Amino acid sequence: MEKYNVVRAFMNITKAPAEENRVTVVLALRRWELGVSEIIAFLGFQPDWE
């Protein structure tokens, strides 16, 4: 699970008091331009509106 290792390392380095999913979104948005539906899919969530 490479994604989780990067997120954990970022949180440890920055001492980020944030939830893991928030950090994951920030790191993803630094690399890619994503819409809300893409972020939801990236995180593996099911949208409420379906």
- pLDDT tens digits, one per residue of 25-47: 888 898 999 998 898 888 888 76
The residue segments making up the domain with residue 38 are: 2-43
DSSP 8-state secondary structure symbol assigned to residue 15: T
Closest by CA position to 29, among listed 19, 43, 40, 39: 39
Residue 48 in any domain: the answer is no
Looking at every residue in the chain, the average pLDDT score rounds to 78
User: How far does CA 29 lie from the centroid of its chain?
Assistant: 8
For the chain, the domain total comes to 1
With 60 as the cut, is the pLDDT of residue 50 above it?
no
| pLDDT for residue 10 | 73
Residue 6 in any domain: the answer is yes
Give the C-alpha separation, 26 to 19, whole Å.
11
With bands split at pLDDT 50, 70 and 90, how would you rate the model's confidence at 2? Answer: low
Residue 49 in any domain: the answer is no
CA atoms within 13 A on the CB side of 34: 17
Give the C-alpha separation, 15 to 22, whole Å.
14
